[in-house]
Amino acid sequence: MKHLLEISQLPADTILKLAQRALAFKDLRADYPRFSGARLANLFYENSTRTRISFELAADHLSIPVINFVQGLSSENKGELIEDTVRTLAAMGINLFVIRHSENRMQEALAKRLSDEEDIHIINAGDGTHAHPSQALLDLMTILEVKGSLSGLKIAIVGNLRHSRVANSLQCLFESLGLEQLYLVAPEIWWPQNHHFGKLTTSLREGIEDADVVIALRVQKERLSEDSSLDLATYHQNYAISLDSLAIAKKDAMVMHPGPVNRGIEIDSAVVDGPQSFILQQVRNGVFMRMAMIEYLLS
Ligand code: NCD
């Protein structure tokens, strides 16, 4: 059964095709297919605004009914396992499961346990600190939409790399597509545990000087228990994307952020709301990218 669990499972040409397909949906160059037999359930065990709602809208554009599973009201409160929840929903005709969970690789383990189910597709909507493939794909779509290609670009990812599943998936994606210059910027305490691609640096200047794209990451207060020594005022002073720090990047540098944004911590309001910000364009693109992902799984 076909699942979409992490970027590393996708060949580079599939990644590029998904981005092109999403752009074609957005520009109305491609008709929206109708998947009349499909049904999608959103199973979110962690908070979400953008990801959950964009999957819902994407399914709607593809004529797929959506069920929003509400954990607090479900039988999991009576001890039912996620695996049994999925089998139960599948018995009612649901075949697409968009799952977000706080445990690393939970969706992968679930996919293995459900390998006997003929007609179940699992989409990873974020697992712990491990992967967030749909966010990485929509980020690529947004960069290609504005810059045309990755060729010759310098891209900097700035912030809490240690706890960021978005940064992990972006590293896989940029490695697969052969990006020449990826810089990963953070204080050492936030350097990633599994660094696989890009140049790590503690220097914001080194990372964003002449950059074409600056991706800021949220300071994830809910995942900071082990970093109690980190002082947010010092972080802001050294690493925030502000009008001043952004001046070191190229004049036409794109500023991106997966959201939700902590204004005044990792990025200043003047940048979030400024002319170089593509943050809302990322959100908008997310709907079209998730349409392309669902189509990929169903065809
Ligand atoms: C991200 C997430 O949940 O991983 N947000 C998102 O999906 N747009 C990033 C974050 O929470 O910081």
> Which residues lie across from 67 on neighbouring strands?
41
Q: Is 17 exposed, middle or buried (0-12, 13-18, 19+ CB in 10 A)?
A: middle
pLDDT tens digits for range 204-252: 999 999 999 999 999 987 766 666 667 888 999 999 999 999 999 999 9
For residue 220, which atom of ligand 1 is closest to its CA?
A: 12
Separation between Cα atoms, residue 201 and residue 183, nearest integer Å: 7
Q: Is the CB of 135 under 6 A from ligand 1?
A: yes
Edge-first strand listing for the sheet containing 213-216:
199-201, 181-185, 154-158, 213-216, 254-256
Instruction: Report the residue among 45, 166, 168 best suited for mutation to probe ligand 1: largest number of ligand atoms under 8 A from its CB.
Output: 166
Total Cβ atoms within 10 A of residue 91 = 9
pTM over 0.85: yes
Separation between Cα atoms, residue 3 and residue 107, nearest integer Å: 9
pLDDT tens digits for range 24-66: 999 999 999 999 999 999 999 998 999 999 999 999 999 999 9
pLDDT tens digits for range 71-112: 766 776 666 789 999 999 999 999 999 999 999 999 999 999
pLDDT at 229: 66
For residue 218, which atom of ligand 1 is closest to its CA?
A: 12
pLDDT tens digits for range 151-189: 999 999 999 999 999 999 999 999 999 999 999 999 999
For residue 46, which atom of ligand 1 is closest to its CA?
A: 3
